[in-house]
Amino acid sequence: MDVAWMLLLLFPLLMWTSSTFVFYFKKFFYVAWMMFLAILGIPVCLLKSGGRDVENMRIIRSMVRHVKYLFGLRIEVSGWEHLQTEGPYVIISNHQSSLDVLGRRRGSCHVTSEPGMMEILPDRCTTIAKKELVYAGTVGLICWLAGIVFINRKKTSDAKSVMADAAKTMLDEQIRLWVFPEGTRNQNGDLLPFKKGAFHLAVQAQVPIVPVVFSSYSSFYLRKEKQFKSGVIRLRILPKIETKGLTSDDVSCLSDQSHSLMRTAFLEISDLVAKSNGPLKH
């Protein structure tokens, strides 16, 4: 009993005095809560759709939107009108941490995860994730039920084949796909070079690309420095980029154009957030 009381007293003390303890506690709670939500969501998905169906993303979206409030995050969205596009399209966005989906995570969906992703996720939209996620317990199962497209990033031939199938599925089933073209999480204050898969996908399907940009998390979240506090995420949806008439020869130019537009927006909205909140101390 004495040990239990000591732990109860120690917890608020550490939460008040240790940013490192707060960081790990929030990360642990985040993962545990998402796994719990997945346990609740799996039978709902099965009852609603009977199996794997992109419509199950609506269930996930509704279940995780509240998570931002648990961590004191506020999401400010601009450019909503650019998502009001009929039919299939490819959404591309930058990717900074496991918070992206909570918004996705390590290259995919933590249904977890960019808090902002679930904030604006349109109907009949799913994402592309690395194949390893499907083995992530309850989270992997609910991602599979939501129609997430899994790729083996280590095998280029497999990834191209999956992308070709995804393009056909987009048109046949009239779905949208969310892709993180940087290919990995990045919190270096800029955008990484884009991989070409998302652009090949859009060109092959002849569907528009809608760029989505998240502001830097550095004002509230620093992974290396183990700091995680409340803050604001600015999310800007840019005008769609048409791909009709383009071919594989245009992919590099399309990628460069998208990167330039998104980088400009990223630096602009990140600067606005930094000025309003101030950066975390390293």
More reliable by pLDDT, 10 or 29:
29
**Domain boundaries along the sequence of the chain:** 2-277
pLDDT over threshold 90, residue 242: yes
pLDDT over threshold 60, residue 233: yes
The total of other beta-carbon atoms located within 10 Å of residue 86's CB is: 6
pLDDT at 103: 39
pLDDT at 109: 38
Distance CA 123, CA 178 (A): 12
More reliable by pLDDT, 94 or 187:
94
Q: Provide the percentage of residues in the chain whose pLDDT is more than 90.
A: 42
Pick the CATH number of 2-277 from 2.130.10, 3.20.20, 3.40.1130, 3.90.226: 3.40.1130
pLDDT at 96: 76
Per-residue pLDDT tens digits for 252-275: 999 999 999 999 999 999 988 877
Per-residue pLDDT tens digits for 170-214: 999 999 999 999 877 666 778 989 999 899 999 999 999 999 999
More reliable by pLDDT, 98 or 24:
24
Model confidence at 114, in pLDDT bands (50, 70, 90)? low
pTM, two decimal places: 0.85
Beta-sheet pairing, 73-78 with 149-151? unpaired
Kindly provide the residue ranges of all beta strands, DSSP E only, lying in 11-168, ordered along the sequence: 73-78, 90-93, 125-130, 149-151
Kindly provide the residue ranges of all beta strands, DSSP E only, lying in the chain, ordered along the sequence: 73-78, 90-93, 125-130, 149-151, 176-179, 209-214, 221-222, 227-228, 231-237
Q: How many CA atoms lie within 13 A of 206 on its CB side?
A: 6
pLDDT over threshold 90, residue 278: no
